[in-house]
Structure 1
């Protein structure tokens, strides 16, 4: 299978999305804050039926162009501001990687709640988000960062298949701490 990400000059799919696909069977998936579609293309090539949303119409246009050129019928690219927290469908897998830190802090609770409500029973949420901690003060001026334990607390009652708050490096080289979580909704 040719890697469409490299063909179109995109970064590879996020490593956590790749890892999650080892546990999650193909299903209806939502890529929240998809940018130009690196995760959506990866998921589509693995049999997922993907809705890819981003507030940036140019990014969605680029993804739609790739989808059209490749004749992909398993990706729906849509301009959607996740801050509205008004998803219209339910999904077996929702991926939200390095996205929450770019939204208005007052909307994060509503966005996470909306994700949870629109996850099918037994479905999965994957979140990777920057943190701001004493050990690793966030060097970037993100509108939102998580505090220690905050993401785990938001998913009380879900099965945490993976949860850590480890240092990492952004694609631009900035070193900071990330909360990474793969959680399964109770059936």
Structure 2
């Protein structure tokens, strides 16, 4: 007989197990799945390019974000972390995959980039990664839509813990009707999988991040191969701001 639930994290761990088909993609023990994904660098994966997201560049160019401390969640091969460092940000970049982190480190050394600390681990689990917030910017390019519904609780808890008052959350995620699973949250538990990633509507993003102020929410612009930026129109881009205590 097992009686092993006495905390919220115990419940979240139990729910993780209901996604046996895909749990290895986003749990700490799933580094091997993502290692396999990143092993062949020649694969025609859009975000393997060494370019920053067009929305991130747009925020910087318009002065919506300014250099400070940044956390890059699910950094992959490090393209956005390198861009933020080039702007003068001090960056902590996190990914589950040692292979992805090693690739990102190689890119950083080749570029002579400084001010980036790469971490391998799960930022959403207690003790998974030691993060030294607060951060002025939390950037997420494609991590959020790979989390199961209950791990949104962990995501919001992380933001509450590390995002500075007045700081920004910027993310890209699958757009409903263009990419990702349209299944209701409850149905995902019956199916035991995320269908490769979850689609979101603008309304669902606004509801999930209702504790933050919306600065911009739009589709990512389509960027061609000649562009210095990455852009795919099947993604939403969103920029939210955490209110300062005086504004609450």
Smaller-chain TM-score bracket: 0.7 to 0.9
User: Structure 1 stretches of 5 or more lacking a match?
Assistant: 1-8
Matched, 1:108 2:152: yes
Q: TM-score, normalised by structure 2?
A: 0.61
Matched, 1:160 2:160: no
Structure 1 counterpart of 2:74: 33
Match of 1:47 among 88, 97, 104: 88
Matched, 1:179 2:233: no
Structure 1 counterpart of 2:103: 62
Name the CA distance, whole Å, in 1 between partners of 2:126 and 2:50.
27
Q: TM-score, normalised by structure 1?
A: 0.78
Q: Which entry has the higher C-alpha Rg, 1 or 2?
A: 2
How many corresponding residue pairs?
Answer: 173
> Which structure has the highest helix share of the two?
2
Matched, 1:142 2:209: no
User: Structure 2 stretches of 5 or more lacking a match?
Assistant: 1-47, 182-194, 225-230
Post-superposition Cα deviations, 1:92-137, rounded to whole Å, max 9, x if no partner, equal 00111122122233212321331243110110000111133xxx16
Name the CA distance, whole Å, in 2 between partners of 1:19 and 1:122.
19
Instruction: Trace 1:66-105 onto structure 2 (pairs within 5 A).
Output: 66-84=107-125, 88=131, 89-105=133-149
| Root mean square deviation of aligned Cα | 2.8
Post-superposition Cα deviations, 1:42-88, rounded to whole Å, max 9, x if no partner, equal 11011000111111100101122333444433000110223427663
Q: Secondary structure at the match of 1:84?
A: coil
Q: Secondary structure at the match of 1:150?
A: helix
Q: Secondary structure at the match of 2:85?
A: helix
Contact residue 72 and residue 80 of structure 2 kept, 8 A: yes
> Which structure has the highest strand share of the two?
1
